[in-house]
Structure 1
Amino acid sequence: MNLKQFSANFAPNYVTLIRLTFCIRFIVKKIRVITLFLLLDFFLLTGCVAQSTETEIPLPPKREFRAVWIATVDNIDWPSSKTMPPSEQRSEFSTLLDFHKRVGMNAVFVQVRAAGDAFYAKSSEPWSEWLTGKQGRRPEPFWDPLDFMIKEAHQRGLEFHAWLNLNRLVHKSSTSVSTDNLSYTHPEWIINYDGYKLFDFGIPEVRDFITQVTVNVAKNYDVDGIHFDDYFYPYVVPGQVVQDDATFRKYGKEFASKADWRRNNINLLVKQIHDALQEVNPRLKFGISPCGVWRNKGTDPEGSKTYGALASYDDLFADSRKWIKEGWVDYIAPQVYFSSGFNRVPYKNLVDWWTDNSFGRHLYVGMGAYRVGYKERDTNWANPKEIPNQVRYFRGNETDGAIFFSSRSLKNNSLGFVDSLRQDLFRYPALVPTMPWKDNIPPLSPKSLKATLLLNNALELFWEKPDPASDGDGATYYVIYRFEPDEKASAYDPRRIIGMCHEGEKFVDKTVQPGKRYVYYITSVDRLHNESRPIGPLRVEVQEQKLVRF
């Protein structure tokens, strides 16, 4: 394939692309055939050129979101101790990122607001006790964890999403509460429930404050996204009552029921935050990870084929389907923490339902990695193939990837399921899926690709930055492809990606062998992961102590 043909793989006609995408989505939703999903990935990249029948082996995905939640509340994932010195916390976090990068992840979701607190310096809320040992105590020596974590993630090519809990002011496990905590400064905003102090979402000033907290992070930190978990109104605890009667009397007169009013409060909050983030940075990603079940089919004919499950709409007053249907979120990451063999809430049923209800936004499946290998009534989690099979299933559907809960569970590697990810399912790199409603303009190609042979017989590629594209974007990182001389160059096979360069304009290929010939192409990728046409081919033969073009 010559440069013109290979380049065409990275420059699809977007009108044709959109029409084609929706046509194939219809087919995929109806018959769920893995081959068709692979054709979708191929068509998006090659502009509808017929696929070669040279191989029957399905290709790994070129684009797939692969992320992990890193929980800070109660020191679940990081830092492992709230009395750990800052230098050790930094080292521990960097090591954690290295681990997840090796597993094959391309994004992390780090909890930076756990309970009316902050893991970052530019905040009106007090420092977290799970960072410094006491809520309100600043780190000594001083540092800004969020700044550090973002830089470390980006250096490794990992997207960084700031995960904020939006309902808690005091956690039931808290051992210290600062006098600067809002439960002291604004007690009228508070609901006491099951040992927690929670926001009363019916109060407009509360929604304004949560929006301000969110926008503050977006303005002051170079995050790729803002993320909320599933905590809105609290999960029901027997004998406990949410005491918001007075707020309902004041603000809910136009609603027939308190349930409708509560759902409206959350809808107002989600839309308000979406609009505020759009104004601050329209390219910033915003998403939520709700409870896995929106509504059961027995309650609502539009609900999922699940039976008697806790539902976000009915039990948490969170109309998660509406948020994505209205375009208030860029992605939805439902917590599908159920096994494939669980009769009441089967994993596959939920994935199918969310696939049919993603409304053109990204769907990331929330994976219950924490359940693998634990003794519980659902014995399916004792099967080491459960998570790998779940990955295969969501790939066969129209999803955009997955987020795993949580980091500690991946580190523990129960039943060796992480080995299956690292060695098989996530063996090859994947680019983060694009969001064309935010940015559909690819960057320009790198310039002046050259190569030289280093003293240790490694081959160094180097090039120049591209000029800015029409939207002003340059290259955030580069993708390096390598082919055999007689091999047909392909833009959609991640097995030919030998590396991604996230700093500078050079890459060292340490796997070349004397006497062999190689063909290289390099592309630019912008912040929203649009990929340029390539520069190349660069054809070189590695000889003893020198490099020869052919």
Structure 2
Amino acid sequence: MLRYKYFFALVLSLLISAPTFAQAVVTADSVSVRPQPKREFRGVWIATVSNLDWPQNARGTAESQQRDLINQLNAHQQAGINAIMFQVRPAADAFYAKSREPWSKYLTGKQGETPDYDPLQFAINEAHKRSMELHAWFNPYRATFDNKFYALAPDHITRTKPEWFFTYEGIKLFNPGLPEVREYIVQVVLDVVKNYDVDGIHMDDYFYPYPAKGQVINDAEAYAEYGKGFDNIKDWRRDNVDKLIHMLADSIHKYKPTMKFGISPFGIWANRSQHPDGSETNGGSSYIENFADSRKWMKEGWIDYINPQIYWHIGYRLAPFEKLLDWWSSNTYNRHLYVGQAPYRFYEPRSLAYKNPSEIPNQLRLIRANPRAQGSVFFRSLSIVNNANHLTDSLRTDFYRYPALPPPMLWLDSVPPNAPQAFTARLEKKNAVLRWSAPLAAADNEPVYGYVIYRFQVNEKFDLGDPRNIVHIQYNTDTLYQDTTVQPGKTYFYVVTAIDRLKNESERTAPMAVTVPASVL
């Protein structure tokens, strides 16, 4: 992600005197907000680089690190989060066992040192227990995060293939212009695709490095060898990144056709002054500075979602949140848009607008009012865990008060499962106990991935589109559920639906009633 070290240097022009709260041109009252959605992506990034979020102790025991992660996941579940972006490769290293790269120093304190467990497998299991998707987050081209090259493991790729790298601002970066580099990165990602039950592959904004004064990208030799057919090195660099994204898309979907693939670019693709199709903004841009044409990746259908980091406030004169939201939503090409939001900026002394507790809630209202936006991802985990500026309170009691399924991706899978069979419901030991049998095979033979349980009371409409009626979402194939929240003297009606991996939902079962006698409790 574009984070602390580079944020201020890159967009210094975007950080001059923030306007007062009264200057914001968009407020909650000025948008027409949709009711609580049943389908919405509600994500959070868990950053492992420099132990920003997890593990908070790189030398901790497996038990303490696991407890730390469980505590964060529990907090996110309580806040209504339904997707985790889990950083598994901060710098050509690994937070997973089945890797060709050494274990991360941010996990064990020393690169290459083996932990007593597989963090990615543990995170997947725990996220799915809580009905959360888990997307494996990769940094594609960053090979080191600092200049302590002496501390790299002997088998680190910068040692075994030094010709693949250039140094920029004191860190080593893969040279995107080398075909063997692109092939290597694809194979690194496929190690996870093939061996882990992740829901998606996620990449952030680090493609070519952000511009830094006095720094030069040393790729002239690669351009001379591979740049034939290009009039300038900039177009060649963009084509190099295009090739990687296209290769990844083809490879990921070859091995896992229902695997989601998404990118989180810098919040500005290009300014209109730089490109006729750009946004009405004035700041750094990924198309020009990172050579990342993420708009093309959407247009070509290479990625399934775009997750731009729109880290500026509503009404900001150089890069207004509302204008960027509108620009991205107009350039999705029927793929999903999940907006990257910045609760971490509450902790920045100069980010005055983010001291306003209404700033991010108003952004959420704008997102929900836009029919071409499907959700949000928050940077970062501890900002949500620590309830930055009371945002988590707002999520739990308002925006994410009711559960939501992630939106389906019909271009990957549009065939829903069949409805569960043999559904029964009865009162047992003061609880409503629901049982059913697995559905018949779906038309595409896609297996059932989980179930959704709905509950209604007398005289309530059986509205499966209203998330207030969802009492449980499960990402497993268990065929039993106990509702422990029933109250004496009431009658409840239940129905169950099945979901597949991409959250396509079946028709409901026939309703079953459970009456709780007034004296039962």
Aligned residues of 2:31 and 2:365 also touching (Cα < 8 A): no
Q: Are residues 1:326 and 2:300 paired? A: yes
Q: How far does the alpha carbon of each residue in 1:374-395 deviate from its partner, in whole angstroms, 9 at most, with x for none? A: 311x421110111111111011
- Once residues 282 and 405 of structure 1 are traced to their aligned partners in structure 2, the CA distance between those partners, rounded to angstroms, is 28
TM-score (norm 1): 0.87
> Is residue 373–residue 383 contact of structure 1 (8 Å, CA) maintained in 2?
no
* Aligned counterparts of 1:172 and 1:346: Cα–Cα separation in 2: 33
Q: Which residue of 2 aligns with 1:118?
A: 94
Aligned to 2:222: 247
Identify which of 313, 326, 347 aligns with 1:352: 326
Q: Structure 1 pair 62/173, CA: closer, same or farther in 2 (3 Å)? A: farther
Aligned residue type for 1:108: I
- Which residue of 1 is the match for residue 186 of structure 2? 211
> C-alpha deviations, 1:160-185, integer Å up to 9, x for none?
10001111111117582111111110
Q: Does 1:478 align with 2:465?
A: no
Measured against aligned partners, the alpha-carbon deviations of 1:109-136 in whole angstroms (never above 9, x if no partner) come to: 1010011101111111111001111001
How big is the alpha-carbon RMSD for the aligned residues of Structure 1 and Structure 2? 1.6
Cα 1:118–1:344, aligned 2, differ >3 Å: closer, same or farther? same
Secondary structure of 2:516's counterpart equals: strand
Q: Distance in 2 between matches of 1:516 and 1:408?
A: 40
| Residues matched between the structures, number | 489
Q: Paired residue for 1:191?
A: 166
User: Could you tell me which residue of structure 2 aligns to residue 224 of structure 1?
Assistant: 199
Within the candidate set 178, 181, 184, 2:156 is matched to 181
Specify which of 386, 392, 412 is matched with residue 438 of structure 1. 412
State the alpha-carbon separation in 2 of the partners of residues 533 and 33 from structure 1.
34
1:43 alignment counterpart: none
Q: Which residue is equivalent to 2:369?
A: 396
Q: Indicate the SS of the match to 2:143.
A: strand
- Structure 1 segment 417-456 matched on structure 2, within 5 A: 417-455=391-429
Distance 2:325 2:165 in 1: 36
Q: Is the 8 A contact 1:519 1:539 kept in 2?
A: yes
Measured in 1, the distance between the counterparts of 2:342 and 2:268 equals 14
Alignment of 1:87 onto 2:63: yes
Residue 387 of structure 2, aligned match among 397, 413, 432? 413
Match of 2:131 among 146, 153, 157: 157
Q: Which amino acid aligns with 1:116?
A: A
CA drift at 1:278: 1.6
Q: Is the 8 A contact 1:127 1:136 kept in 2?
A: yes
Structure 2 counterpart of 1:342: 316
Match of 1:284 among 253, 259, 282: 259
* Pair 1:514 & 2:488 matched: yes
Are the aligned partners of 2:267 and 2:311 in contact in 1 as well (CA < 8 Å)? Answer: yes
Q: Which AA in structure 2 matches 1:246? A: E
Partners of 2:419 and 2:195 in 1: CA distance: 31
Whether the aligned pair in 1 keeps the contact of 2:77 and 2:130 (CA below 8 Å) is yes
Matched-pair contact (CA < 8 Å) for 1:74–1:173: no
Alignment match of 1:234 (pick from 203, 206, 209): 209
* CA apart distance, 1:481: 1.1
Aligned match of 1:96: 72
Amino acid at match of 2:70: S
Aligned pair in 2 of structure 1 residues 90, 196: CA closer, same or farther (>3 Å)? same
Structure 1's consecutive aligned runs of 4 or more residues displaced over 3 angstroms after TM superposition are: 32-35, 544-547
Amino acid in structure 2 at the alignment position of 1:119 = F
Report if the CA contact (8 A) 1:233-1:317 is conserved: yes
Identity among equivalent positions (%) equals: 47
Distance in 2 of aligned mates of 1:391 and 1:362: 16
For residue 521 of structure 1, report the CA deviation from its aligned partner: 1.2
Once the two structures are TM-superposed, the CA of residue 473 in structure 1 deviates from its matched residue by 2.4
* Residue 200, structure 1, aligned to residue 175, structure 2: yes
Q: Which residue of 2 aligns with 1:48?
A: none
Extract unaligned runs of 5+ from structure 1: 1-31, 39-58
8 Å CA contact 2:129–2:474 kept in 1: the answer is no
TM-score by length of 2: 0.91
Which moved further from structure 2: 466-475 or 387-396? 466-475
> What letter corresponds to residue 256 of structure 1 in structure 2?
D
Alignment pair present for 1:379 and 2:387: no
C-alpha separation in 2, matches of 1:341 and 1:379: 13
Aligned ranges for residues 520-535 of structure 1 at < 5 Å? 520-535=494-509
Tell me if 1:497 matches 2:473: no
Per-residue deviation, 1:546: 7.1
Query: SS of the counterpart of 1:372?
Result: helix
Report the counterpart of residue 54 of structure 2 in structure 1. 78
Alignment of 1:67 with 2:32, yes or no, is no
**Separation (CA, whole Å) in 1 of partners of 2:348 and 2:391:** 13
How far did residue 277 of structure 1 move? 1.0
- 8 Å Cα contact 1:453/1:546 also seen in 2: no
| 1:272 match: secondary structure | helix
Alignment correspondent of 1:265: 240
Alpha-carbon distance in 2 for matches of 1:368, 1:513: 40
Call closer, same or farther: CA 1:292–1:518 in 2, change over 3 Å.
same
